Structure 1
């Protein structure tokens, strides 16, 4: 199976996350980056959470998301953890954002 380039830093590989868009050369999904961004974390701060990425990769992932929102939102919904399974300490942190 071959990877399909979607943009400069975003690719799809059927063998990684079932073909979900990821950052090229990593297993980091566009969904993961968008999830942090939706929590109000600035792109520059996302690098603190995903230090193996560059700022250009983060911005490219967000750009890809803005062009493919319905698809990425579907991945987000499909992988959402039910509220009752979220640990209370995580809820406390997220409640402060």
Structure 2
């Protein structure tokens, strides 16, 4: 009987200064949490987001949303600062 590979969900989200200006993103993809959150706020389901970005798994999308909900104030402040900068 084959054993399924166990994924450590703590490895799905990362941030480093040299990728996406240090913004948290899905490891190995460069897809930022901001991008996932934007689609989520537009009403897309996690399944629709995963389908829209074909190389992401549903687990990766859920990890991004969990990260957002766990760090919502920080992410929202960063999004607001980004929007203010774009509008100035």
TM-score tier (shorter) = 0.7 to 0.9
TM-score by length of 1: 0.71
Secondary structure at the counterpart of residue 14 of structure 2: strand
Matched residue, 2:38? 35
TM-score by length of 2: 0.78
Matched residue, 1:69? 72
Q: Does 1:20 align with 2:44?
A: no
Secondary structure at the counterpart of residue 7 of structure 1: helix
Encode CA deviations 1:10-64: one digit per residue, 9 max, x unaligned.
0011101221100000110011001100111000000122111100000000000
Alpha-carbon distance between aligned partners in 2 of 1:26 and 1:10, rounded to the nearest angstrom: 10
Question: Gapped runs of 5+ residues in structure 1?
Answer: 1-5, 83-97
RMSD: 1.7
Question: Gapped runs of 5+ residues in structure 2?
Answer: 1-8
| Runs of 4+ in structure 1 over 2 Å off | 78-82
Deviation at 1:7, TM superposition (A): 2.6
Instruction: State which of 18, 39, 57 in structure 1 corresponds to 2:60.
Output: 57
Alpha-carbon distance between aligned partners in 2 of 1:23 and 1:9, rounded to the nearest angstrom: 6
Alignment coverage as a number of residue pairs: 77
